[in-house]
Amino acid sequence: MPKSSAAARARKIKLILFDVDGVLTDGKIWIFPAPGVQPSGTQQSVLEKSATHGGQGGFGLHSTSLIEAKGFHAHDGTAISLARLAGIKTGIITKRISETVALRARDLKMDHVYQGIQDKASVFAQILEKDGIAAAEAAFVGDDVIDLPAMRKCGLAIAVKNARPEVKAEAHWVTSHAGGDGAARDAVEYILKAQGRWKQMVEEYISERS
């Protein structure tokens, strides 16, 4: 993929999709004993979804006695808000299933949340059809080889600083920060600056919270 065209590609973006582990987080997965309370509501549905993978490894815990926790960066949360102000939709496509991710996505009002997904390219195509967006108008931010099928189909493929070499080799642009340390902020900022809207969105964000 020619990296010289990254800015031109960024000017077309109307949708940004992110992997989670290693992109919105630093890739570490923390597992803790859960309090002795039966899950309900959203948590129950997430656990039930995890169970549908029939014990396959790497999809997350189906357990009422353990909690899978992840750490998110506040700068990335601000980035999602800035993208929303700019009218750019956001979403996640991740293989693992975690209540922590569901809660974070809901808190940030992300438009698309797909967990337990191994074939990310197919879900990517479904999102485009649902939103009526062309592939050239979508960006995907990834870090590992499972992200490559979706990155190869999008208009702007972004690799985080800590991405595997194979992913960086096929990306149009690489963030200056690692996953979980502001990489998503880098991606959103790059796109908004390419579109000439960065300063305006920052001012609107400040005004909205004043």
Fill in the amino acid letter for 164.
R
Among the listed residues 81, 152, 74, 130, the one whose alpha carbon sits nearest the alpha carbon of residue 110: 81
Q: Residue 56 class from Cβ within 10 Å (0-12 exposed, 13-18 middle, 19+ buried)?
A: exposed
d(CA 157, CA 139): 6
Question: What are the extents of the domains in the chain?
Answer: 3-28+71-208, 30-67
Lowest-confidence region among 26-30, 46-50, 100-104, 135-139:
46-50
d(CA 183, CA 163): 11
Lowest-confidence region among 46-55, 88-97, 110-119:
46-55
Mean pLDDT of 105-123: 96
pTM of the model as a whole: 0.85
Mean pLDDT of 140-152: 98
On the question of pLDDT at 41 being above 90, the answer is no
**According to the CATH classification, is domain 3-28+71-208 in 3.10.180.10?**
no
On the question of pLDDT at 82 being above 60, the answer is yes
pLDDT at 66: 76
Q: How confident is the model at residue 1 (pLDDT cuts 50, 70, 90)?
A: very low
pLDDT at 64: 66
- The rounded percent of the chain whose pLDDT value lies above 90 is 75
